[in-house]
Chains A and B, each alone.
Chain A
Amino acid sequence: MNVPLNGIKGRYCLIFNHIMQTNKLKKTIRKFKCFAAFALLIMITHAVYAQQNTSVKGTVVDEKGATLPGVSVMMVDQTTKKQESTVTDLKGIFVFNNVKIGNRYDFSFNYVGYEKKTSPAFLINPGTNNSILIRMETSSSGLNDVVVVGYGSQRKTKITGAISQVKSEELNKYAGSNFAQQLAGKAAGVVINDASAQPGTDPQIVIRGIGTLTAGVSPLVVVDGFPLSEGSSLNTVNPQDIETIDILKDPASAAIYGSRAANGVILITTKNGRSDKNTVSFDFYTGAQVRADKVDLVDGYQFAQLNTEARDWGYVSRNPTSRSISDDYATRVSKGANKRDLRLNYIQPYLNNQPGLTNTDWLDEIFRTAPISSYNVAVSGGNDKSKYYFSGNYFDQDGIVIETGLKRYSMSFKFDSKLSKSFDVGLSINPSYNRQKFFQNDASRSSDAIGAALIMYPFFPARNNDGSLAISQQITANTPEDGALGENPVAIMEKTKYNKNLFRTFGNAYLNFKPITGLTFKSLLGGDYSNSFIDFFTPSDVGEYRTAAPKPARTSETNGSVINYLWENTLTFEKTFGKHDINVLAGTTFQKESGNNTLVSGTGIPDNNIDNIAGASSFSVVPQRYVWTQLSYLTRLQYAYANKYLFSAAIRRDGSSRFGQDAKWGNFPSVTGGWIVSREDFFPKVNWIDLLKFRATYGKAGNNQIGNYSSYALANPLSYVSGSTLLPGFAAVNPANSTLSWETKTSYNFGMDLGLFKVLNLSANYYSMVTSDLLLQVPVPSQSGYDSALQNVGRASNKGLELELSGTNIKLGPLSWNFGANIASNKNKVLELGPGQNQIVTGTNSAFRTKVGGPIAELYGYNVTGVYKNQSEIDNSPHVAGALLGDYIVQDVNGDGKITPDDRMGFGTYAPKITYGFNSSLAYKSFELSFSINGIWGRKIYDNGLVNMESGEGFSMADTYYYENRYHPVNNPNGFLAQPNTNYSANRLNTNASNIFFQKADYIRLRNVQLTYNLSSKLLSKLKVSRASVYVTGNNLLTVTNFRGFNPDATSDNVLTSGYSNSNYPVARSFVAGFNLTF
């Protein structure tokens, strides 16, 4: 094809021809017109410059010849050594004006994901046709990616620590409100426990196992250099604003964050404007979420049978010689039956299997199909001086439990500018407003929808025939025989108001000053302000557990605000001379947080007209205020020789207000080394090995996540009364500890990276970490006046192996395949506890043990070997006094002929032995199919909800598993679960903590499947759209597990009772469809 090309000659024609070959004509002409206009402009501009100067321009394309915008171009004048830099524009074109004719210039080109390119000693000819064409090649498996390392960034090849990186494309395949949910399965050794999946609740993030016992387990989250304080909501960060997440897993890498880094550090880099290009991007998705758990309750007829069996056997077993199942109600009363020995007064029709009776599935009543949607618009752009990124997001997720949900309105604004050659400034602000409708997911039978539903009998409706809420029907009906006096959870949820509004804005401003080449002084001021308001009201016309309506109305509100600021000053010096490459960092940071929180509770509410504290006549106020501060000094040296030998050393010195007068300061050193073997001369020159690197790190990091004033003996209010006069009192609630300080995690990490065939990258890490001086809430003998004391005692270790394998741009014919696979093991062990202390037993039914030599929070209880089916089995074996037929046979573990608490044993832990993930993305023409799987192996959970459902106490609802497997001497003689019995013996109470209820919670979950269709570029160019795609996504479509509870990620927040579950809000299955449009 031949088109006249005025004014374009020489090298540029080559480019043009190339474009002609690979692109369609129309597009080219459009490009050409643009270019011609541009060239004309340049020519005109040139006229005003001195004769000896001209311009040089060029185009950067990728392997396929498509132009690459946003490529950094650096030009160095060989004569004057003067540097200049720019980036390519939307069409991949860059221009340098003011180049000297006859001089030679070195050009270098950098772009994330591509190999660095150079064009040395380019001679500038007179005239205006100095043109360069650069073809960039994708880097082998992203080895040249930039990884954020804390106070700086490094190329992936130079990394010596254990750092996992997850990019935004991977994250946003999961439709959720926070990035933590999206991280599940993406990085080896990073476990996400969506323990209560209520919208707006943060998941637990565990990096390389838990190494602490009673201090916090959360990693430090740093957003664009600003460390968020622990416990601050992750839901206020819009996941669609995130560019990359870098996870510093080994304490040596994290040590630069000192006393807060022991649980690992998550560095979030938000999106920024990228080039001379202005982009407007719309993202929208919407979909539905449904229940995906496996809890299956019995129906009314089955429950009637179970409940009656329990009451009958309860009645008879108290005195089998004089009582009989056939005793009627009056006879039972006359024989001294207690209320639960009587049959429910309304039960007979169900026992008779009379059809058409009320048969409510309460889980169907409290769960629903819930919509989720997100609207996101992002505008970004910039020029060679300034970049900006602006986004707005509206996120709206209803919970799968009725009357729950989160609405988030958030914005992000980021601006960076070069003021002059030596000054850069930048600013980012991220305001958000969250409105959450929620309930306390604490299994309360009065206020937790799930907890309340599990004691609701199917015999009662949620609504009356006229559609009104059925109030207190079960309470009234069950009172004579003390059945479960539960209130209708639908009524509880609909009538109770529990809202949380959170306004938050955080961000930072920085100034970079570069007085000389390589030296940067950076001053960063960060701030985080949040204001929360929680509004609670429960009216009188709905009852609660054991309380029929009307009850006294109650209300409360909580007003809180937190202000946190950070001032950080760092000096960085970078220099390459010869084969030496150094980077030195030194700095100070100071951070201070002040918070206050006022809880006002109101009672004495005469009517329900005002649904907030204004309606109350009597108030109590609980004020809380705190301040914490941290002052730190840090320095780091990174050194590379010949790009083969890598070394770094860092130390941070931290002072914290949280610690005792005598122990405020701590030092956190680290050293790391790396050796890129594949760059050695002796290394065989094979073209299929791109990289072989060995790494080792050693370092210490701290954990300071305890209360703000834990070193003091705090005296809290404990008042008394005389007549009606209050006598204000205060008493110490904990002993003082002036030497209280951080716990320290010391770690070794050995790693290896292998790059193969330019597409595969294998990374392996072995780590060994010991946490010493544990911040341990040591249970102490109560005669001290205290139950526990926070001390720095004890040690625990975590060891593990991690493998990550990724493939990038693997060509399978017309298909292009990317994948990532990871697997990690972790084993923890308690090495030492408090002085003379061998174990800590804690939790509901004392079901958790943390023992020296064993793992943290082992499930602890009796070993059940069967069910007593005849009296001689009881009489002829060790048993607890009062054991009844149909109770559990308990193993006499220590063989002393008695069943005592010493016969309890360990049954595994919540902390998984193995975690793994697999992500794959397959592109074919305009289609892309991706999925990800994550899995957990070796986990056990103690689910109190299941204890209630499967204990046979004849009170709570039961599940079908119990119904089918319960022992009954006649109907089910092979049943292996204890017989229903309201006469709940010591044996049954003891065995509430036993292998019967310690459940395996391993799972493999299809976390997401996404099919994307990218609209053809032909169509798009007509519409002036650069990218348009539509997609459908399914999240949590399939979870393979034997766990019968609501949520196999369920756990309590307390490390010592990890794996304790109680009606935890289940993770939903969701289906969404969305589109993306970029201009």
Chain B
Amino acid sequence: MKPSSSLPLKNHNIPMKKIINKILVTGGLFCLLGITSCTKELNQQPITSKSLTNFLTTETEVEEYVNAVYGTLQLNGLYGLYLPAIGEIPSDNTFDEVPANDSGMYGQLDQFTTVASNGMLSDLWKNSYQGIQRANTVLNRIDGIPYASAATKQARKGEMHFVRALLYFNMVRVFGDVPLVIKETTNPNEFFGQGRTNKDLVYAQIISDLTNAIQELPASTTTSGKAVKTAAQSLIGKVYLTLGKFAESKAVLADVVASGRHQLLAEPADIFALTNKNNNEIIFAVQFASGINGNSEGSSAYQQFSPSGTISGAKGHNLPTKSFYQLYSASDKRKTAYVGLTSAGTPFSTKLKASATTPVDGGSNFVVLRYADVLLMLAEDENELGNTETAKTYLNLVRRRAGLADATQQSQVDVRDAITLERRLELIGEGHRWFDLLRTGTAVSVMNAWFASQNITTRITNRDLLQPIPQDQIDTDPAIKQNP
């Protein structure tokens, strides 16, 4: 290209003043634009999330928050995966097939080598408080929000009281003293330095919440999975039992029986069938379903608790021990209804069913409270109160359903042992055994005897009864002190 010869420029005879005016006008225009429209643009609201500032103002929105409180129960740290194992794997009922898997966190609980950085405990702690805080938020706000039906509003308050009590009850059994928080968080910094609350105070709050829940909850619900009055009664019955208040426990559990809302199903195999979820025997179960919401409503417990090599990703965490399996008599229907055997002879719980979609999307509900548990608790209450025969009537209801003859034990001690055994056989895989050992004060003796019988060198002391406080909590706030 040749350089283009320059054309003479047009002469700009615009007076300077005019130019300056032009600049000022244009400049002014820009500034104006800046101040008005652009300043408004600085206020941007979330588009694909809701903001708590203007959320939770209507009934519909409170209902969404309530659903999220229940949704919290599905998390891994709670009933999605870890809590069932935390409640059973330390006991003689179940064990971890390969203790080294998943950074050894199941194996540590199984073998009493738990370190404070154990991920299961860390998640249990965090998820419990998430649920508690969400329940606190609903309870804090719901009174000011109009509901079409006063009864619905009251039911929701009861549900929140129930869930909060349930979460605290688990925490206090696993960790002992835990921080008690019953108000909505406005400034999270306020919790620095709070430290752990004496467990007696936590229990008092649990009883208070459940007492409220019993008043507030309806006898039944059309939305299966939501807490009902008998759930609160059953739970407080368990709390009283744990505290050794057998009379109080008996009274409230008797109300559950008297309500007529629940019954034992005829066949043990039907209780956990996927086609028979939320049947009459179930009092409260955390709900899961396969193939819903992009496979996000299932649980991976079935996969994780299946013997390794049986299905993809199976790790054999929390398998029934062989010695436990041998406790079933040949005629016990539960031997096949509740427990399966791999081709290699490894027992596994069949209370969690295979997923219809992917292994991590198991559709079995996790049963927290069911009628058989209530009957066995009542039996225990009656036996501890000296009513051995009444105790046996409750015990026999469970035995008969299993196809067994009535109990023949006579003494309080023998009946106690019979109830204990029946609880193990009936409630295997439901996360109760370790807590039962704890509340009956038999954990140390039973476990050491069991270890000896299994030729395992481990021995425990009272120090092993509480789990360590998660190290991340102590690292965050040293006011949270470790268990001794």
Contacts and interface: CB of A to CB of B under 8 A. Distances in A.
Interface in B14-72: 16, 19-20, 22-23, 26-27, 30-31, 33-34, 38-39, 41-53, 55, 61, 64-72
A630 B50 CA distance: 22
B334 interface: no
A422 B133 contact: no
A148 B289 CA distance: 61
A655 interface: yes
Contacts, number: 338
Interface stretch (B4-12, B143-151, B392-400): B4-12
> In which size bucket is the chain A interface?
35 or more
Given A336-B455, A620-B295, A729-B67, A631 B312 contact: no
A619 B12 CA distance: 66
Contacts of A625: 47-48
A728 to B, nearest CB: 6
Interface string B70-89: 11101000000000000000
Interface stretch (A746-754, A758-766, A983-991): A983-991
B226 interface: yes
A684 B101 CA distance: 76
B108 interface: yes
Contact of A882 (B31, B68, B113, B478): B113
Interface stretch (B190-198, B204-212, B232-240, B417-425): B190-198
A709 B30 contact: no
Nearest to A545: B313
Q: Which 5 residue pairs are nearest across A and B when measured between Cβ atoms?
A: A620-B294, A785-B133, A729-B67, A547-B312, A729-B68
Contacts of B136: 785
B294 A618 contact: yes
A719 B189 contact: no
Contacts of A990: 115
B51 A783 contact: no
B98 A278 contact: no
B326 interface: no
Interface in A631-660: 631, 633, 655-657
B476 interface: yes
Nearest to A992: B103
B199 interface: no
Q: Which of B20, B133, B188, B296 has the most CB of A within 10 A?
A: B188
A627 B47 contact: yes
Given A726-B292, A781-B480, A789 B188 contact: yes
Interface in B295-322: 295-297, 308-309, 312-316
13 contacts: A482-B309, A629-B42, A712-B51, A715-B52, A720-B67, A721-B288, A723-B278, A730-B65, A783-B194, A784-B129, A839-B475, A840-B475, A882-B113
A515 to B, nearest CB: 4
Contacts of B137: 732, 785
A835 B187 CA distance: 12
Contacts of A628: 44
Nearest to A625: B47
Interface of A: 45, 89, 97, 276, 278, 318-319, 321-322, 335-336, 338-340, 381, 383-385, 420-422, 479-480, 482, 513, 515-516, 519, 521, 523, 543, 546-548, 551-552, 569, 571, 588, 590, 592, 601, 603-604, 618-621, 623-631, 633, 655-657, 661, 664, 708-709, 712-716, 718-724, 726-732, 735-736, 778-787, 789, 791, 834-841, 845-846, 881-882, 901, 953, 955, 982-986, 989-990
Contacts of B457: 318-319, 321
A564 B337 CA distance: 62
A629 B44 contact: yes
Interface in B435-484: 454-457, 471-478, 480
B462 to A, nearest CB: 15
Given A421-B12, A782-B125, 19 more contacts: A482-B309, A521-B26, A547-B312, A618-B291, A714-B49, A720-B70, A720-B287, A721-B287, A721-B289, A723-B224, A731-B72, A735-B186, A780-B192, A785-B136, A785-B181, A846-B117, A955-B100, A984-B104, A986-B113
Contacts of B340: none
Nearest to B16: A516
B415 interface: no
Given A421-B9, A720-B67, A552 B358 contact: yes
B183 to A, nearest CB: 11
Given A720-B68, A984-B100, A655 B295 contact: no
Given A618-B295, A657-B43, A723-B278, A731 B103 contact: no
A989 to B, nearest CB: 6
B91 to A, nearest CB: 17
Contacts of A714: 46, 49-52
Contacts of B312: 543, 546-548, 551
Given A625-B48, A729-B64, A590 B129 contact: no
Contact of B27 (A569, A627, A719): A569
Contacts of A623: 48
Given A340-B98, A655-B42, A715 B50 contact: yes
Interface of B: 1, 3-6, 9-10, 12, 16, 19-20, 22-23, 26-27, 30-31, 33-34, 38-39, 41-53, 55, 61, 64-72, 74, 97-101, 103-104, 108, 113, 115-117, 125-126, 129-130, 132-134, 136-137, 178-179, 181, 185-194, 223-226, 277-278, 287-289, 291-297, 308-309, 312-316, 357-358, 454-457, 471-478, 480
Contacts of B316: 339
A992 B168 CA distance: 33
B46 A712 contact: yes
B23 A708 contact: no
B376 to A, nearest CB: 28
Given A420-B10, A422-B12, A784-B133, A989 B223 contact: no
Contact of B30 (A569, A601, A619, A984): A569
Nearest to A335: B455
A480 B192 CA distance: 49
Contacts of A621: 294
A841 B478 CA distance: 12
A835 B456 contact: no
Q: Which of B55, B67, B104, B223 has the most CB of A within 10 A?
A: B67
B293 A721 contact: yes
Contact of B223 (A727, A781, A846): A727
Q: Which of B52, B192, B471 has the most CB of A within 10 A?
A: B52
Nearest to A568: B30
A882 B223 CA distance: 49
Contacts of B47: 625-627
Contacts of B296: 620, 719
Given A420-B10, A709-B46, A720-B71, A781 B179 contact: yes
Given A319-B455, A781-B192, A985 B70 contact: no
A781 B117 contact: no
Contact of B68 (A276, A731, A778): A731
Contacts of B64: 728-730
Contact of B475 (A340, A381, A664, A846): A846
Given A721-B293, A841-B475, A89 B3 contact: yes
A335 B136 CA distance: 51
B38 A836 contact: no
Contacts of B472: 779, 841, 846
A781 B134 contact: no
B369 to A, nearest CB: 17
Given A479-B308, A712-B52, A735-B188, A722 B225 contact: yes
A323 B125 CA distance: 38
Q: Which of A627, A655, A713, A789 has the most CB of B within 10 A?
A: A713
B108 A986 contact: yes
Contact of B134 (A383, A421, A731): A731
Given A335-B455, A719-B71, A846 B50 contact: no
A665 B362 CA distance: 50
